[in-house]
Amino acid sequence: MKIFSVSEMIETERVADMAGHTYDTMMEIAGLRVAQAIMSRFAIQDKAILVLVGAGNNGGDALVAGRYLHEAGAKVVFYCTKNRPTDDPNLYQVEQLKIPVLWATHDMQFRVLRMRLTAVDIIVDGVFGTGFSRPMSGTIAQFLRQVRAGIAERTKILTTEKLEQNGNYLGLAPLVPTFPTTSVAQPSEMHPYVVAIDCPSGLNCDTGRFDPLTIPADLTISFAGAKQGHLLYPGASICGELLIADIGIDPQYTTEIMAELVTPEAARQLLPQRPLHGHKGTFGRILIAAGSAEYHGAPILSGRGAFRTGAGLVAMALPQVVRQTAVSLLPEAIFPQISAELMLDHTAEQELVPTLDQYKAILLGPGIGQAESFVLSFLAHLIDMDQSHGIVLDADALNVLANRDDWPHLVNENMILTPHPGEMARLMDIPLSELKEMNRIVIAQTQAKRWGCVLILKGAHTVIAAPDGSCQVLPFANPLLGTAGSGDVLAGSIAALLGQGVAPYQAAVLGAYLHGLAGQLATKEFGDSGLLAREIADYLPQARRVLRQL
């Protein structure tokens, strides 16, 4: 499932049109897909639907969608923000069916618009498409301000009616209406349901920023693939449920689009086999070099994540100060003899290097503290070894790298770096505030190519990028996973997949997907807060089982 920039989508449609799959055909299919999405969620017979129609192709999609909804029995009214071309075939068909069409140019102070909004069940937003990029102003700003006010008024009416129906209305003031800010999976009876065609009008589909007058959607239907702005915050928070609709574009025209959204089908294909005759050697021996006097828990969480993701054997190379705690909390692991007391050092390096051939994957960094000399020297040994080892660099290992201007020569395409935004900013040597203004998808792709490694930029809709420019974005944005130690579990999970023979880029994608899916499964019990990192690990086997069944 591709993720497009606006320019990539424009070019893809142009190529498809030149090849004979015309703009008119794509518009017809797009409108049908919108109508089908609405009809799959509602019994629309006699539902009052207001279709907001802009001047461009997005408005054309809206005209087609409204026509299909009318033919299915809905009470459809079109409201056009600007005049359409006189030869517009979609407007002609609407007029032939005698579906009401209202015009903003004839609606003084938007009185008719506000009247319609007070009785609407569903609003279809076809005002702007993906090309919006500048602040709202003038008449269109006034129009959107009236739409938002009308939605708020309609929400008050629906809220009051619902409370009265339930016998709970005590004569108090109606609930203060608010626009939805999170994904809405089911139609709500407490506010008019807003369906955005391609994107909520006012969203910049390249940056994820949106104008304050943008109408938040309950459902956004994007065509051919997701747009980057659907997955970048703050824009992702106003898209509601995101549905990708096929409009018949031949996949051969999208082969050069390097960013993709990870689907369950794609993730499932990456799962390593678990043969019935397998044993702990079959499922990989991994080494975790981590921990310090300050951070006892990080390596334990990584080890737990590794075991829960199917690692056959986990060796924990820890300083003495952490060792006893780890033995008691993770007795399934083995513990190579390490002489270092408070943090891993040159002695630990000498003790570990002769044993490295025993392991298929190595995780370096969780809770390792200020062990800079160990990290750099150990990395140099790993670089000199053959390329049979998968290597994950996490947490403090990344901070150690960031302290050196020449650090990229210490990594290669066999290594997976797992920065959160703060660590990413340090690796790039820029302020975090500057990083937050950048497009996460583009940054991950650019830096993975520049540094020559696999890169996981963590956060809502985590981005995984490869040295060749390939890029995968997760469909998950879940505050439940925003807890201390969550990244340690992720790092251990990825190391476990490397140990089971999954290639670095694929292990990064699958490990991150399982981690995100574990969080989604946990929401059924925990809601949006209160999950402990070790509990994320404990959901990983369930995530793997569910993924096989999806």
Range 265-549 classified under CATH 3.40.1190.20: yes
For residue 180, CA distances in Å to 226, 237, 533 come to 20, 9, 29
Strand, coil or helix: 316? strand
Cα dihedral: 425, 426, 427, 433 (round 10): 10
Where are the strands (E) in 210-329, listed by range?
219-223, 226-227, 241-245, 259-261, 285-289, 313-317
Looking up tokens 């692991």 gives 333
Q: Grade residue 166 by pLDDT with cuts at 50, 70 and 90.
A: low
Amino acid found at 364: L
pLDDT digits (tens, 9 = 90+) for 274-315: 999 999 999 999 999 999 999 999 999 999 999 999 999 999
- Rounded to 5 degrees, φ, ψ at 347 are -65, -45
First vs last Cα of the chain: how many Å apart? 16
353 token code pair? 């290097």
- Nearest-angstrom CA–CA distance, 296 and 366: 10
b/e per residue 411-431 (b: at least 16 CB within 10 A)? bbbbbbbbbbbebbbbbbeee
**Lowest-confidence segment of 50-64, 168-182, 377-391 by average pLDDT:** 168-182
Cβ neighbours of residue 74 under 8 Å, at least 6 residues apart?
Answer: 44, 45, 46, 47, 48, 49, 122
Task: Name the pTM for this structure.
Answer: 0.92
**Domain range annotation of the chain:** 3-164+176-257, 265-549
pLDDT digits (tens, 9 = 90+) for 205-242: 999 999 999 999 999 999 999 999 999 999 999 999 99
Strand, coil or helix: 206? coil
CATH superfamily of 3-164+176-257: YjeF N-terminal domain (3.40.50.10260)
Cβ neighbours of residue 437 under 8 Å, at least 6 residues apart?
Answer: none
Q: What is the pLDDT of residue 186?
A: 42
- Whether the domain at 3-164+176-257 and the domain at 265-549 fall into the same CATH topology: no
Looking up tokens 């569910």 gives 546
Q: Grade residue 163 by pLDDT with cuts at 50, 70 and 90.
A: low
Cα dihedral: 242, 246, 250, 251 (round 10): 40
b/e per residue 277-304 (b: at least 16 CB within 10 A)? eeeeeebbbbbbbbbbeebbbbbbbbbb
